[in-house]
Homo-oligomer: A and B are copies of this chain.
Amino acid sequence: MDAQPLYRRWADHYLRAIKAGSLSQGDRMPSVRGLMRLHGVSLSTAIQVCRQLESEGWLEARPRTGYFVRQPRRLPIAPVDEPNVSALPDPAQYVGIHARVSTFIAKGRQYPITTNLAAARGAPELYPEEKLKNAALRILRRDSRLLVRAPSHSGSTAFRTVLAMRAVSIGLAIGPEDVLVTHGATEALNLALRAVAQPGDTIAVESPTFYGLLQILESLSLRALEIPTSPQTGISIEALELAVQTYDNIKAVVVVPHLQNPLGSIMPDAHKMRLAQLCEERGIPLIEDDTYGDLAESKIPLTAIKAWDRSGNVIYCASLHKVLAPGMRLGWMTAGRLQARVEMLKFAQTRQNEEWSQITAAEFMGLSAYDRHLRRLRSLLRTQRERTAEAIATYFPPGVRLSRPEGGVTLWIELPNKLSSEKLFDAALQEGILIAPGSMFSNSNRFEHFCRINCGLPYSKDLDHALLRLGQTVAQCLRT
C-alpha cells in the first residue's frame, strides 16, 4: 500500500503536469466536482488536493471561478553574489564593445525571434497610448505652427517647467532654465562625458554596467575603469576610493543610483551622500544617470545624488523613454556648473529637440493621470518580474542565481556552473529567444556566466513557455 495520503498522490500528479508544462501558468484546474468525477475521489480529497497545491504556491484560487495554475512566489533561489571590493579594479581596457554588441545584434537578425528578452523596456501596452495620443491631437490642433517654426533653444518652456517642478520631489531645486532637453539619456550621457573628458581619459563606471554606456565611452575614445558594484547597494564606495587614489587620470564617475542596469541595485542615501562628497573633494565630476528612478517601488520618490551636490559638481541625466513613452526619445539633464558647456555641445551635436513630443509629454505630465500611469506601470512590472523570477526558479536547473530588484524591467541571472552566456545566447537563438549575455555589460570577462532578461512583456502562456524552453536550453548547454 502507498504510504502517502490519497490527496498527496493526486496533488503530485498535477504537480508533474505543471512542471512538464502540460498545465501551464494561467491554466484552469479541473473543478472540485471534475476531480471527483475524473479520479473517483471524495469531495474532501478533491478539496484537499487543491488546497495543498495552493498552499505550496502552485495554484491560486479565484473567487467564484476555481483554481488556476501559478508559480510559487518565494521559491528558494539564491541572490547573485556581492563583488570582491578589496581587489584593485582592472585598469581600463578598450576591447571593442561595439564589435561585440554588433556581433550579437547581427546574429539576432539571422534568426526569427519570437521572444525578445534582450531589451530593457516595457511592452507598448504598458504605456498610456490613448492619453498621449489625445494630448498630441490636442496640441496639433491648438498650435500646428510648431511644425514649421524653429524649436526653442534648450527645449520647450512648458516641458522644462514640468520637469523642473517634478524634480523637486527627488530633491532638486532647479528652474526651467536649468533643464536641457536631449534625445534620451543617451544623448545626455554623451554630452556630459564630452563636457568633462578628452579622448584617452579614463571614466570610472559600475561593473557590470549598461552596455550603451560602454559603447558611448568607446565611441568617444574614453577608457572605462570598472568599479565593483553590489547587486544590493550599487557602486562600492570603498573600491571607488581606492581607484581614485591609485589612478590620477579619472575624469568622471558615472553611476546609475536607482535600479542599476543590469544589477537592479539601489544606492542607500548614505552611499549617495558619501559619493557626492568623495567626487567633490577629488574634483571629479559625477554623472548621475537616473533613467530608472521612477520605476523603483518606494513609498516616496528616491532622492537623487544631486540633492547632495553643493558645488554644481553633479551632472544629473534622466529619460522618459522607459517610464512615459518608448516611442518618444525624450531625455533631459541639469549639469550644475557645466550647464553652459553642455548646452553648447548639444547645439553643436543635434541643435534643439523638436517641440511636438516635448509639448505632448508636458501636457500629459501636468495631469494627475501621469502619476496614476506610473503607479500602474510599477505594479504591472512587479507582477511581470515576479512571475519571470518564479519561472526561472522553476524551470532553470539548480544553481541558478537571481537578482531581486525592487523595481524596473529586468532581472540579472547568474547561470549554474559558470555556464557561458554566449553559448546560451547561441543556443537560445535556435529557439527563437533573444537574451542579453553578460559579456555585453563589461569590458572584463567577469560576467560571462551572467545574462540579463527583460521583464517588460506582459506575462503570457507563450512567454512562460519560452522561459521553460530557455531553462531547458540552459540544462542542455550544461550537459554538452
Q: CB within 8 Å of B: which residues of A?
A: 98, 102, 119, 121, 124-130, 132-133, 136-137, 140-141, 144-151, 183-184, 186-187, 190, 194, 198-199, 212, 215-216, 218-219, 221, 325-329, 340, 344-345, 347-357, 360
| Partner of A349 from B127, B133, B187, B348 at Cβ < 8 Å | B187
List 10 tightest A-B contacts by C-beta distance, closest first. A133-B144, A127-B148, A183-B350, A219-B348, A147-B327, A124-B148, A215-B348, A124-B149, A187-B350, A129-B148
Chain A interface, >50% SS class: helix
Complex copy number for this chain: 2
In the bound complex, how far is the Cα of B141 from the Cα of A133, in angstroms?
8
| Partner of A215 from B140, B147, B212, B347 at Cβ < 8 Å | B347
Contacts of A326 in B (CB 8 A): 148-150
The residue on B at minimum CB distance from A195 is B219
Instruction: Give me 27 A-to-B residue pairs in the complex whose CB atoms sit less than 8 angstroms apart, sorted by A's number.
Output: A102-B344, A124-B145, A127-B148, A128-B148, A130-B144, A133-B141, A136-B144, A136-B147, A136-B356, A145-B327, A147-B325, A147-B328, A147-B360, A148-B325, A150-B326, A151-B327, A184-B350, A186-B350, A190-B348, A190-B349, A219-B344, A219-B345, A219-B348, A219-B349, A329-B350, A356-B356, A356-B357
Contacts of A216 in B (CB 8 A): 348-349
Contacts of A325 in B (CB 8 A): 147-148
Contacts of A128 in B (CB 8 A): 148
The residue on B at minimum CB distance from A194 is B219
Given contacts A98-B344, A150-B326, A198-B221, 5 further A-B contacts (CB under 8 A): A102-B340, A129-B147, A136-B147, A137-B137, A194-B219
The residue on B at minimum CB distance from A137 is B140
Contact A149 B327 (CB under 8 A): yes
The residue on B at minimum CB distance from A357 is B354
A121 CB, min distance to chain B CBs, angstroms: 6
